[in-house]
A = this chain, B = another copy of it.
Amino acid sequence: LKEGSEEMGVSRKKAEQNRKRILDSAEQLFRQKGVEGVGLAELMKKAGFTQGGFYNHFASKNALVSAALSQAMTKGWKQLNETFDEAREQGDSPVEHEVDWYLSPAHRNDVKGGCPMAGFAAEIPHLSKADQRAYAGGLDQTFARIAEILIEQDPSLSRLEARRRAVAAFSLMVGSLLLSRAVAVVDPALSNEILADGRSSMKATSV
């Protein structure tokens, strides 16, 4: 058991990879079609398995939803910080860099990925309290990180003012992204305009 768990056999390693494949498929499908719009049969088929194997990896669909939300938020948090680091390396304003990515057509089109706070926002009220708490924690953390960066950019900002701007800025980004996605298929021009106007508003308010 001691050494056995250290260097696992092929099958267990493979099983862990398979779990990851199920989880990744779930994350994408849940964003794309909504949690209620995806069945386990479809999901397992996409991951390359038959339906029955699901319960070797997750206790229930709800457990999978929690895991998918959690993974999406972890990815989103990494992405946020990478975007800031990237901007610093290029000597750009970190928040402007973030906004340019966030309100880009590419991010809008990436329905399967992208910001989990936007992608899951509408599902959250239908999920468990634990999931709602996880989401609220992730959102608060995001606000805090943006406020931190704002103070870095302009040290004269008070903590309170930075927080206010961070919350409003992120709300604008989420709203623009969701409205832009809602009309993307039937009115691409309007969809692009929403992104562009969001961007120009962010720049006008010196954030």
Q: In the bound complex, what is the Cα–Cα distance between A197 and B184 (angstroms)?
A: 28
Judged by a CB distance under 8 angstroms, whether A75 is at the interface is no
Which one of B124, B129, B179, B204 lies within 8 Å of A171 (CB-CB)? B179
**CB-based nearest B residue for A201:** B168
Query: When the two chains form their complex, are residues A168 and B197 in contact, meaning their CB atoms are under 8 A apart?
Result: yes
Bound-complex Cα distance A199 to B71 (A): 32
Are A167's CB and B197's CB within 8 A?
Answer: yes
| A contact patch SS | helix
A197 touches B34 (CB 8 A): no
- Contact at A139–B34, with CB atoms within 8 Å? no
Nearest CB in chain B: distance from A175 CB, A: 2
Q: 0/1 per residue, A155-178, Cβ < 8 Å to B? A: 000000001110111111111101
Q: Which residues of B contact A34 (CB under 8 A)?
A: 34, 36, 122, 126
Instruction: Indicate if A68 sits at the interface (CB-CB under 8 A).
Output: no
Q: In the complex the two chains form, what is the Cα distance from A112 to B64 in whole Å? A: 28
In chain A, residues 35-59, which have Cβ atoms closer than 8 Å to a Cβ of chain B?
36-37
Complex Cα spacing A126 to B111, Å: 12
User: Given A121-B179, A124-B182, A194-B171, are A187 and B129 also a contact pair (CB < 8 Å)?
Assistant: no
Partner of A179, one of B117, B176, B183, B193: B117
C-alpha spacing A169/B197, complex, angstroms = 9
Enumerate chain A interface residues (CB-CB to B < 8 A).
33-34, 36-37, 111, 117, 121-126, 129, 132-133, 135-136, 139-140, 163-165, 167-176, 178-179, 181-187, 190, 193-194, 197-198, 200-201, 204-205
Q: A-B pairs with the 10 shortest C-beta distances? A: A175-B175, A122-B122, A168-B201, A167-B197, A171-B175, A36-B36, A174-B175, A136-B183, A171-B176, A124-B182
Known A-B contacts: A174-B179, A205-B205. Give 10 more (CB < 8 A). A36-B36, A129-B186, A132-B182, A133-B186, A136-B186, A140-B187, A164-B197, A164-B200, A172-B175, A204-B205
